[in-house]
Amino acid sequence: MDESRRATLIEAAGRWGTPLYVTDLDAAVANAQAWRDALPGALVAYAVKANPDPALLRRLADEGFGFEVVGPVELSLARRAGATSDRIVVNGVGAGDAHLADALAGGALVNAESLSALDALLLAGKGRIGLRLNPSIAAATHPHLATGAAASKFGIALDELPEAVHRLARAGRAPASLGAHIGSDIHDAGPFGGLAELLAGLAAKSDVAQIDLGGGYAGPLDAWVDAVAPHIPETERLVVEPGRSIVADAGWLLTRVVRVQARGHLIADAGMTELVRPMLYGATHPVELLEPGAGLPRGEAWTLSGPICEAGDILARNLDLGPTAGEGALLAIGQAGAYGAAMASNYNGRLRPAQAVIEGGEVRLSRRRETLEDLTARDLTEG
């Protein structure tokens, strides 16, 4: 980490305390632009679930990117950020009829993930209906992140596709798009090449122009393009839904060490309620010392643990942050821009952290820290 970045993160922690999420908007836009440059004419629809920071969504909307949303709240957030309906893609295996109807009426591309959802969309009226398939492709990733396997809950099964096309045709409609999402945090581009080959063949049979390859790729972008291009050379046909690849390396979780257990634990003021990925997925995140604290015994490999009453509340293992990473030390947990703040919870009565953004070298608050009043605002008094 360069000294300018270090100084900015230290400033942010000093102004708004810890735990604190910080997202670099310029870095996120640069990552999104790399997708747009690699796929001229494609719809690059940022997956809002990765990080719904309002300043980030506004900046991406201003830059002309699209949004992939799951559920009515994310749809509202995308609209609130200024996204135009023609650049919104709606997914969701459990989407309710009312949400599907609202999204369709608003002009978004709405993907049916089951025959039942397709029937609800056909009843809802005019609009762009896509079909999101289960491609029966098992990519190498954590089991919780694998969405394209045949046994997963996601998407219309391949043997159901003819029936889905028939139901559309019976209503005088045709699929606006064929797509699938095979999972997240996938480093091998090969399965995306297989997905592109499958969808291109199916789209040709059904005379569908637009192909949605989802998101989830975590490797070098040029390898993804090399895998996909032989099957879909016309990039203007494509919809892609990157999330993690846009924001993961553009975000940090800042935390302070509040206690030291001499048996090898640095206890931080952030834990699984702020960053659940290590516990949920076995994810690893780099940790860097920003400001020194009290001294530590030498020669010890430390575990960075959170304050939550769970033995699994561990953020990182086998750390060697130097002899000054004791109580009061300020740490930056990297690669935390995706599925960090978005998955924060109130477990153990925790208040969700504030969020700040960096833009043009300046840092500002984007979302304030949650308060007890926020947490209890929905409580109903007796009588």
pLDDT tens digits for 284-326?
A: 999 999 999 999 987 678 999 999 999 999 999 999 999 999 9
Q: What pLDDT, on a 0 to 100 scale, did the predictor assign at position 140?
A: 67
DSSP collapsed to 3 states, 216-274: CECCCHHHHHHHHCCCCCCHHHEEECCCHHHHHHHEEEEEEEEEEECCCEEEECCCCCC
Average pLDDT over residues 113-118: 95
Tokens of 132: 């999101």
Tell me the three state secondary structure of residue 293. Answer: coil
Amino acid at 298: R
CA 240 to chain centre: 13
| Alpha carbon distance 3, 21 (integer Å) | 19
Q: What is the pLDDT of residue 383?
A: 47
From the list 151, 204, 262, 309, the catalytic residue is 309
Please report the domains of the chain, with CATH numbers, ordered by start residue: 3-22+248-374 (2.40.37.10), 52-242 (3.20.20.10)
Q: Identify the pLDDT of residue 206.
A: 85
Q: What is the mean pLDDT of the chain?
A: 94
Average pLDDT over residues 208-237: 95
Give the three-class secondary structure for 100.
Answer: helix
Answer positive or negative: Cα dihedral of 245, 43, 129, 206.
negative
pTM above 0.75, yes or no: yes
Residue 309 is among the residues annotated as catalytic for this protein: yes
pLDDT band at 382 (very low <50, low <70, confident <90, very high): low
Strand 314-319 and strand 302-305: the pairing is antiparallel
Residue-level pLDDT at 350: 97
Q: Does position 366 have pLDDT exceeding 70, yes or no?
A: yes
Q: Cα–Cα distance between 181 and 184 in angstroms, integer?
A: 8
